[in-house]
Amino acid sequence: MNRPYLGEFEELVLLTVAMLNGQAYGVAILEGIEKQTGRTVSLSAIHATLQRLEEKGYLTSKMGGATAERGGRRKRFFTVTVGGTRALEEIHTTRNHLWNQIPKTGLA
């Protein structure tokens, strides 16, 4: 079985979608990443990454209802799939394994 490959930004987006637990849409994801990391990100980068993660099968999406506050436009909400959860778990396990291999004197 191939191990999942996620770039760092893909991993951040996927983790943020999981963290938002059913309330993940573009702006909420952007705000979550900025709050958690202190990094400034663009909404277009978020949307491109969401599309890529959905194509990889790590996310699914559905359209929410139209709201007056958005001028009648609808939000697309994202959720992590079983495959996305597995990918995150494998990455977490790999990172922990690597961290545990660093000799105690290896980090200053």
Tokens of 5: 């490959």
pTM of the entire predicted model: 0.85
In a domain, 3, yes or no: no
In a domain, 108, yes or no: no
Provide the pLDDT for residue 73: 75
Tokens of 59: 């996310």
In a domain, 107, yes or no: no
Domains identified in the chain, total number? 1
Provide the pLDDT for residue 64: 81
d(Cα 65, Cα 42) in Å, to the nearest integer? 24
- Amino acid in position 72: G
d(Cα 27, Cα 49) in Å, to the nearest integer? 13
In a domain, 106, yes or no: no
- pLDDT tops 50 at residue 59: yes
Q: Are 59 and 84 in contact (CB under 8 A)?
A: yes
* CA nearest to 38, candidates 15, 12, 19, 17: 12
pLDDT in tens, 6-35: 999 999 999 999 999 989 999 999 999 999
Provide the pLDDT for residue 1: 46
Which residues span the domain enclosing 61? 8-101
- Residue 88 sits in a domain of what CATH number? 1.10.10.10
